[in-house]
Every structure is written in C-alpha cells, then in structure tokens.
Amino acid sequence: MSDTLPPDLQLGRPTAQPSSPAAARLDRVPNPHPDTDYVARFTAPEFTSLCPVTGQPDFAILVIDYVPGDWLVESKSLKLYLTSFRDHGAFHEGCTIDIGKRLAGLLEPRWLRIGGYWYPRGGIPIDVFWQTGAPPANLWLPDPGVAPYRGRG
C-alpha cells in the first residue's frame, strides 16, 4: 500500500461484512487533485435492503456523483457499507438519504448527489433524489444513465 494512504484502511486486508449500516466503517483517502473540480461517480446496480414493514427485499440502482474536496471515498469501504443494507429494514427514502448524508459528512465534498432508482413495491416505483446544493459552475455533469421506470410499456 502507498505510504500516502492512511495505515488503517480496510483496503488490502480481509474485512468482515458489517452487520448494519451503523456498524459499517467508511474510509476516505486524500484527493490527488483537490484543486480541480471533477465528478467521481459510483453506480450500485444491485443495491438491496429490506422493507421495514414486510421484511421483503427491495432492489434499487444507486447513482452517487460527487465533486471531491480534500477527500475521496475508498471504494472497498463504500462497497461494504452499501452491502450492509441487505439485512437492514428501512424505507426507500431513508436508505437513499442516509447514504447521501453519511457520504457528505465524511467527505465534505464540494457537491454530492444521490439518485435511488427503486424497483416497484406494491406496483409503484419510488425514486429518491438528494443533493447537497447546486453543482459547481462549468462542471461537466453526465446524465445519471438510468431511465425512468416504464414497466412493460
């Protein structure tokens, strides 16, 4: 591992799956270009959580875009954090906003947005979007790449 990375990262060592989102540890690493506005995107096409009422699984595509300041989220820790929701009961809105706020608090990015594109529950898809504010000016911001839900039509 590089000498510039914190020595206590989960990266590069065996790490147990966290038992819950609250127990999951998110790691951050220094941004190699803190003087440059750019978008880093994470897409989780197989995000799962549990319905807090029925206990049935819920499925979503999450798209997380952020403009880093001094920090980047370390991807292994993000993966472990996101998979910790598999046994976590929460509504779509709760999962999506909790993830966005936790990342914003950890990273203190110049800007962050999260889109939760949830598959239908009870016949109704619920999509949830949150962002920290307006994106920086002159930023190339690609489309999230997830089409609105159309069913079989």
| 58 a catalytic residue | yes
The domain ranges of the chain are: 38-131
Which pLDDT belongs to residue 3?
A: 57
Per-residue pLDDT at 33: 98
Based on the residue annotation, tell me whether 95 is a catalytic residue of this protein: no
pTM of the predicted structure, to 2 decimals: 0.92
Residue of 37, 51, 87, 127 marked active site: 51
Confidence (pLDDT) at 66: 98
Block means of pLDDT (10 residues each) for the chain, 153 residues, are: 68 90 96 98 97 95 98 97 97 97 98 96 90 96 88 60
Query: Which pLDDT value is given to residue 102?
Result: 98
In the structure encoding, which two tokens stand for residue 91, read together? 């509504």
Take residue 72 and report the two structure tokens written for it.
């980047």
Q: DSSP class of residue 86? A: G
Kind and range of the H or E run holding 17: none
Say if domain 38-131 classifies as CATH 3.30.1130.10. yes
Question: In the prediction, which pLDDT does 34 show?
Answer: 98
CA 38 to chain centre: 17
